[in-house]
């Protein structure tokens, strides 16, 4: 088994970096080959733009999708993108490790999706969703929040964290991944009062231990349900008899 861990946090001593290291250690302990990519450490450029594609299909204007496919067909994708593609294709398990910033993932991770989920090699009109090129592989979001679990609940002040993560999970599903239920550690922040530091550290240690135990059985980790093609009508609308798995894709009369 081979795993890819993608870390998106600017501080190498952060709890996110710690979780990435712990995941790598656990998976290697279980005889897996593990690749760890630290997006900040390698200076990954999150901007998809014309300068990444010097051998242009349409020099007069930049359209990301056809230019990505053109570069891929010419075997002229940027070296860093090609390297990340090879890591994705080789992996059985992909873990995205990041903090929740402004109710979403850090910009570098969104940019990674923009640039590495290359149109053509990673998806096309015939290879998407349950027919995507990553089918048979699993992906996991390992996420930290600064707020408490109560505040990040469905009725919490910060909003439902799992729902906030749904677009990113759906992006992974779009290219074919079987997406595991996200692992979320709440209350990860600096500046705690002195009388709470010890309790905070104990909670994070317990979360780390739980994470390692669950990764040791990652094949049994619950997965997120998504609607497949048969659940939709010709025009793209959800069939009346189909189950709605998320408020993002729901029946019109559901409100």
57-81: pLDDT as tens digits? 999 999 999 999 999 999 999 999 9
Q: What angle do CA 167, 130, 71 make, to 5 degrees?
A: 75
Domain assignment present for 204:
yes
Task: Say what percent of the chain tops pLDDT 90.
Answer: 87
Please report, in angstroms and rounded to a whole number, the separation of the first and last CA atoms in the chain: 43
Q: In degrees rounded to 5, what are phi and psi of residue 232?
A: -120, 150
pTM for the model: 0.94
The DSSP line for 72-100 is: HHTT-S-HHHHHHHHHHHH-SEEEEEEE-
> Quick one: pLDDT band at residue 214, thresholds 50, 70, 90?
very high
Name the residue range of residue 35's domain.
2-224
Domain assignment present for 116:
yes
Q: What is the CATH number of the domain that holds 47?
A: 3.40.50.360
Number of domains in the chain: 1
Are 205 and 195 contacting, i.e. CB atoms less than 8 angstroms apart? no
> How do residues 219-247 score in pLDDT, each as one tens digit?
999 999 999 999 999 999 999 999 999 99
Question: In the prediction, which pLDDT does 198 show?
Answer: 59
Give the bridge partners for 249, in sequence order. Answer: 246
Q: Which residue has the tokens 């999708």?
A: 65
Q: Which residue has the higher pLDDT, 137 or 198?
A: 137
Domain assignment present for 241:
no
- Whether 194 has a pLDDT exceeding 80, the answer reads no
Nearest to 3 by CA among 82, 86, 110, 87: 87
Question: In the prediction, which pLDDT does 1 show?
Answer: 93
CA distance 11 to 13: 5
Domain assignment present for 248:
no
The DSSP line for 150-183 is: TTTSTTSTT--HHHHHHHHHHHHHHTTPEEBPPE
- Mean pLDDT, rounded, of the chain: 93
Domain assignment present for 155:
yes
Domain assignment present for 244:
no
Q: Quick one: average pLDDT of 121-138?
A: 95
Domain assignment present for 16:
yes
Where does residue 78 fall: left (phi above 0), alpha (psi -120 to 50 degrees), or beta otherwise? Answer: beta
Question: In the prediction, which pLDDT does 254 show?
Answer: 58
Q: Quick one: average pLDDT of 90-116?
A: 97
Point out the least confidently predicted range of 76-90, 132-146, 191-205: 191-205
> Quick one: pLDDT band at residue 195, thresholds 50, 70, 90?
low
> How do residues 34-43 score in pLDDT, each as one tens digit?
999 999 999 9
Question: In the prediction, which pLDDT does 253 show?
Answer: 81
Question: In the prediction, which pLDDT does 42 show?
Answer: 96
């Amino acid at each position: 088994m081979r795993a890819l861990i993608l870390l998106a946090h600017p501080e190498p001593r952060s709890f996110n970096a710690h979780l990435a290291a712990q995941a790598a250690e656990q998976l290697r302990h279980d005889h897996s080959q593990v690749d760890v990519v630290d997006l900040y450490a390698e200076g990954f450029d999150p901007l998809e733009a014309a300068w990444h594609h010097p051998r242009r299909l349409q020099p007069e204007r930049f359209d990301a999708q056809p230019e990505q496919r053109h570069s891929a067909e010419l075997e002229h994708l940027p070296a860093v993108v090609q390297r990340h593609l090879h890591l994705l294709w080789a992996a059985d398990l992909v873990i995205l490790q990041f903090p929740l910033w402004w109710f979403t993932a850090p910009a570098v991770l969104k940019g990674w999706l923009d640039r590495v989920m290359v149109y053509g090699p990673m998806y096309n009109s015939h290879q998407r969703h349950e027919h995507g090129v990553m089918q048979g592989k699993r992906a996991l979001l390992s996420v930290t929040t600064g707020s408490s679990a109560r505040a990040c609940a469905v009725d919490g002040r910060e909003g439902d964290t799992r729902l906030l993560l749904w677009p990113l999970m759906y992006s992974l599903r779009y290219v074919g991944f079987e997406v595991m239920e996200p692992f979320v550690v709440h209350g990860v922040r600096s500046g705690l009062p002195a009388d709470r530091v010890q309790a905070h550290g104990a909670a994070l240690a317990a979360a780390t231990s739980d994470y390692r135990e669950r990764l040791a059985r990652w094949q049994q980790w619950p997965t997120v349900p998504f609607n497949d093609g048969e659940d939709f009508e010709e025009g793209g609308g959800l069939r009346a008899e189909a189950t709605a798995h998320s408020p993002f894709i729901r029946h019109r009369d559901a409100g």
